């Protein structure tokens, strides 16, 4: 299977690292904003072609699929561009920064019949898969999720400490991880969503602090705190409060409520959530089936984000 990767920054390289462990997949082109850094990444990963134009990469012979790790504001239009070019596509989270654009992507997927998967990585992290397996086995039921998503990002920098050409967003990017995971793990639709935010940053034009509350139709609740002002520890921390135990997930690590480690190394073939996400993408294409975190499967997340956005505007 031949694939191109658009976006040669922090997340693009995470996908390139993961793909190196997947047999039968060949990255034939990389797309970046500036050609020289993109050529450097291509050379590091032994990729033949480097571009600054997505259309040129899509035109390479026999390309099957594309992975988009580009700025949020480009995700929807580029996902549509890839499918209209006849390519399967995986677009990094978030699918879009508006419900309207997310629906346009879904419509294109339906029209083309191609695979369109969204990078909702938390579904694939072994720690969260472990919880999902216990839910599916009927061993636990989630009563509440308490989640903290904390960064120290008062300037427009990416995860590698490099200047960004775009502005990140607590609601449409970072909250999307938890809003989707909560509905996915509980298996119920969110029927109540509330949000408050702190002051808007005078230069970045975004809220630097936010608090979100969610409730599903079955009564499970989620409290999510987000900040770009937190000076460590950094990352996202999930507390699952269940009817039969408490679990705390920190990316690919999991402990119980007493901070006793839980071995999740045998949950999947890798401990790398991005690699597992990519494996699902390529497997769904090969098996002609809908992937986990398909655009249709995650649309409820973007409906909730839309509702939260409206509440913040009022």
Q: Flag whether pLDDT at 253 surpasses 80.
A: yes
> Which pLDDT score is estimated for 313?
86
Q: What is the CA radius of gyration of the chain?
A: 19
Contacting residues for 213 by C-beta, under 8 A, at least 6 apart = 192, 193, 194, 195, 221, 222, 223, 224
Please tell me the pTM assigned to this model: 0.94
For the stretch 88-109, pLDDT in tens is: 999 999 999 999 999 999 999 9
Model confidence at 67, in pLDDT bands (50, 70, 90)?
Answer: very high
User: Any idea how long the chain is?
Assistant: 314
Contacting residues for 269 by C-beta, under 8 A, at least 6 apart = 276, 279
Q: What is the mean pLDDT of residues 25-54?
A: 97
Distance CA 205, CA 202 (A): 6
Model confidence at 160, in pLDDT bands (50, 70, 90)?
Answer: low
Handedness of CA 294, 183, 232, 96 (dihedral sign): positive
Q: Flag whether pLDDT at 73 surpasses 70.
A: yes
Q: Where are the beta strands (DSSP E) in the chain?
A: 2-6, 26-31, 49-51, 65-68, 88-92, 116-119, 142-150, 190-197, 209-216, 221-227, 235-242, 245-250, 253-256
Q: Flag whether pLDDT at 262 surpasses 90.
A: yes
SS3 assignment, position 291: coil
Q: What is the mean pLDDT of residues 243-272?
A: 95
SS3 assignment, position 12: helix
Angle at 283 between CA 293 and CA 7, to 5 degrees: 65
Model confidence at 2, in pLDDT bands (50, 70, 90)?
Answer: very high
Q: Are 127 and 120 in contact (CB under 8 A)?
A: no
Model confidence at 154, in pLDDT bands (50, 70, 90)?
Answer: confident
Cβ atoms within 10 Å of 177's Cβ, excluding its own: 22
Model confidence at 244, in pLDDT bands (50, 70, 90)?
Answer: very high
Q: What is the mean pLDDT of residues 259-287?
A: 97
Distances (CA, A) of 283 to 63, 114, 290: 16, 13, 10
Q: Flag whether pLDDT at 159 surpasses 90.
A: no
Distance CA 38, CA 52 (A): 8
Handedness of CA 107, 117, 160, 97 (dihedral sign): positive
Nearest CA among 100, 155, 73 for reference residue 309: 100
> Which pLDDT score is estimated for 168?
84
Model confidence at 157, in pLDDT bands (50, 70, 90)?
Answer: confident
For the stretch 42-60, pLDDT in tens is: 999 999 999 999 999 999 9
Handedness of CA 279, 283, 284, 285 (dihedral sign): positive
For the stretch 117-142, pLDDT in tens is: 999 999 999 999 999 999 999 999 99
Nearest CA among 78, 103, 108, 98 for reference residue 90: 78
Q: Flag whether pLDDT at 158 surpasses 70.
A: no
Q: Are 179 and 198 in contact (CB under 8 A)?
A: no
Q: Between helices 75-84 and 99-112, what is the axis angle to 10°?
A: 10
Which 3-state string (H, E, C) describes 193-229?
A: EEEEECCECCCCCCECEEEEEEEECCCCEEEEEEECE
Set out the domains of the chain in order of their start, with CATH numbers: 2-120+274-292 (3.40.50.720), 125-267 (3.30.360.10)
Listed as own residue / partner, the contacts of 184-189 with beta carbons closer than 8 Å and 24 or more positions apart are: 184/120, 184/123, 184/132, 185/128, 185/131, 185/132, 185/135, 185/142, 185/145, 185/240, 186/142, 186/216, 186/218, 186/220, 187/135, 188/216, 188/217, 188/218, 188/220, 189/216, 189/217, 189/300
Model confidence at 162, in pLDDT bands (50, 70, 90)?
Answer: confident
For the stretch 287-314, pLDDT in tens is: 999 999 999 999 999 999 999 999 998 7
> Which pLDDT score is estimated for 211?
98
For the stretch 183-208, pLDDT in tens is: 999 999 999 999 999 999 998 889 99
Q: Flag whether pLDDT at 76 surpasses 70.
A: yes
Distance CA 168, CA 235 (A): 15
> Which pLDDT score is estimated for 49?
98
């Amino acid at each position: 299977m031949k694939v191109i990767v658009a976006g040669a920054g922090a997340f693009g390289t995470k996908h390139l690292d993961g793909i190196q462990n997947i047999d039968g997949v060949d990255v034939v082109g990389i797309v970046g904003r500036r050609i020289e850094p993109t050529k450097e990444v291509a050379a590091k990963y032994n990729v033949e072609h480097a571009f600054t134009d997505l259309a040129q990469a899509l035109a390479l012979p026999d390309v099957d699929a594309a992975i988009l790790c580009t700025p949020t504001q480009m995700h929807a239009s580029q996902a549509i561009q890839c499918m209209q070019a006849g390519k399967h596509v995986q677009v990094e989270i978030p699918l879009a920064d508006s419900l309207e654009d997310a629906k346009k992507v879904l419509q294109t997927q339906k029209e083309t019949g191609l695979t369109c998967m969204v990078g909702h990585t938390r579904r694939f992290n072994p720690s969260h898969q472990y919880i999902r397996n216990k839910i599916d086995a009927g061993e636990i039921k989630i009563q509440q999720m308490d989640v903290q998503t904390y960064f120290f990002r008062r300037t427009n920098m990416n995860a590698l400490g490099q200047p960004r050409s775009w502005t990140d967003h607590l609601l449409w990017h970072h909250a999307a991880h938890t809003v989707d995971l909560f509905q996915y793990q509980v298996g119920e639709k969110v029927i109540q969503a509330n949000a408050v935010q702190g002051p808007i940053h005078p230069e970045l034009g975004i809220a630097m602090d936010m608090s979100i509350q969610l409730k599903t139709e079955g009564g499970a609740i989620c409290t999510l705190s987000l900040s770009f002002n937190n000076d460590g520890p950094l990352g996202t921390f999930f507390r699952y409060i269940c009817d039969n135990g408490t679990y705390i997930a920190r990316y690919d690590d999991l402990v119980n409520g007493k901070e006793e480690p839980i071995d999740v190394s045998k949950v999947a073939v890798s401990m790398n959530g991005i690699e597992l996400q990519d494996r699902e993408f390529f497997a769904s294409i090969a098996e002609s089936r809908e992937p986990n975190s398909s655009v249709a499967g995650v649309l409820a997340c973007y409906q909730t984000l839309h509702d939260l956005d409206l509440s913040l505007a009022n």
